[in-house]
């Protein structure tokens, strides 16, 4: 019975002990209130309830935990049950509290979002680098067929020299294992973006000019 758990917890746990367990320092029955910017101890304890005379916060041990952690009543009960080893809640809850499981789920979601963002980046950079590489191949052909007369634009020669690098980047991004790709992103991500940007903004004209 849920009601029984709340009553049991309130009966078994002294509010002062709970407060101190979660970092509240009590002297002469008073404490600095954690629920507002308190400079003098405004919180008192009576009849196993807390009360802040400055901000008005007050209630039972359950209320205290709810305020402190933003827990639901059940989460607060489970937290207290776990932290004080009361053994009141059913097996599934005793090892991992609801809020812990919520946190774990949130973490998984965050990781999924990160992976999705990375995948988006990877596909986009592959597109850009591939387009850039096709253009570089064309320039290389021009360069190879160059019959002289005028000096070949030095910038273009330099850019054509980047072909092996771009091929290497694309190879990792296309065929690399996931951890390898993540490492690539961390180390060469910015450089790959810079190279890809050349295709976006510079164009042949500026490179040849």
* Residues contributing to the site for Zn ion (CB under 5 A): 33, 35-36, 52, 54-55, 57
| Beta carbon nearer to Zn ion, 55 or 187 | 55
Q: Please give the backbone phi and psi of residue 44, each rounded to the nearest 5 degrees, phi first.
A: -125, 165
| Beta carbon nearer to Zn ion, 24 or 166 | 24
| Rounded Cα distance, 166 and 145, in Å | 22
CB of 30: closest distance to Zn ion in angstroms? 12
| Beta carbon nearer to Zn ion, 35 or 84 | 35
SS (H, E, C) the chain: CHHHHHHHHHHHCCHHHHHHHCCCCEECCEECCCCCCCCCCCEEEECCEEEECCCCCEECHHHHHHHHHCCCHHHHHHHHHHHCCCCCCCHHHHHCCHHHHHHHHHHHHHHHHHHHHHHHHHHHHHHHHHHHHHHHHHHHHHHHHCCCCCCCCHHHHHHHCCHHHHHHHHHHHHHCCHHHHHHHHHHHHHHHHHHHHHHHHHHHHHHHC
| Beta carbon nearer to Zn ion, 34 or 176 | 34
CB of 19: closest distance to Zn ion in angstroms? 13
CB of 32: closest distance to Zn ion in angstroms? 9
Cβ atoms of 132 and 199 within 8 Å: the answer is yes
Q: Please give the backbone phi and psi of residue 50, each rounded to the nearest 5 degrees, phi first.
A: -110, 160
CB of 9: closest distance to Zn ion in angstroms? 23
CB of 43: closest distance to Zn ion in angstroms? 6
| Beta carbon nearer to Zn ion, 55 or 106 | 55
CB of 83: closest distance to Zn ion in angstroms? 23
| Beta carbon nearer to Zn ion, 33 or 88 | 33
């Amino acid at each position: 019975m849920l009601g029984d758990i709340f009553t049991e917890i309130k009966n078994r746990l002294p509010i002062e002990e709970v407060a101190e367990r979660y970092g509240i320092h009590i002297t002469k029955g008073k404490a600095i209130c954690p629920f507002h910017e308190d400079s003098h101890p405004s919180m008192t304890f009576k009849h196993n309830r807390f009360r802040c005379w400055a901000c008005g916060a007050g209630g039972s041990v359950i209320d205290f935990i709810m305020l402190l952690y933003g827990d639901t009543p059940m989460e607060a009960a489970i937290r207290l049950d776990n932290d004080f080893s009361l053994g009141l809640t059913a097996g599934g809850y005793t090892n991992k509290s609801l809020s812990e499981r919520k946190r774990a789920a949130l973490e998984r979601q965050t990781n999924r979002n990160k992976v999705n963002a990375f995948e988006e980046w990877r596909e986009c950079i592959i597109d850009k680098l591939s387009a850039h590489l096709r253009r570089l191949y064309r320039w290389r052909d021009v360069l190879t067929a160059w019959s002289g007369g005028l000096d070949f634009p030095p910038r273009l020669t330099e850019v054509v020299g980047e072909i092996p690098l771009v091929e290497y980047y694309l190879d990792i991004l296309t065929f690399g294992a996931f951890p390898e790709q993540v490492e690539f992103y961390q180390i060469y991500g910015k450089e790959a973006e810079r190279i890809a940007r050349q295709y976006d903004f510079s164009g042949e004209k500026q490179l040849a000019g």
